[in-house]
Amino acid sequence: MTAVAEDEADLNAQLEAWLDRLLANGPSALALIKGLLGTMHQDLRQHHASAVAQAAGTEDCREGVRAFIEKRKPVYGNR
């Protein structure tokens, strides 16, 4: 996502909106992404494949897919 802020208040508002969108996702997926960001200096391809495999096996992932198919907001349980 790319955006330009007009001033500090606009920057803060845009950051809050971005964080709200980010935090609306599954906690387990966010934890995996945080782990990936912490290892960016390493070979990300290996870490990416591992994180995708881990995330795909979670109940939160299945809930996200079900919610998308059913056209509803997902309810994540950090599982």
pLDDT of residue 49: 80
pLDDT of residue 1: 67
Q: Is the entire prediction scored with pTM above 0.85?
A: no
Radius of gyration (C-alpha) of the chain in whole angstroms: 15
- Region 24-42: mean pLDDT is 81
pLDDT of residue 9: 93
pLDDT of residue 13: 94
Tens digit of pLDDT for each residue in 38-64? Answer: 777 667 777 778 888 888 889 999 999
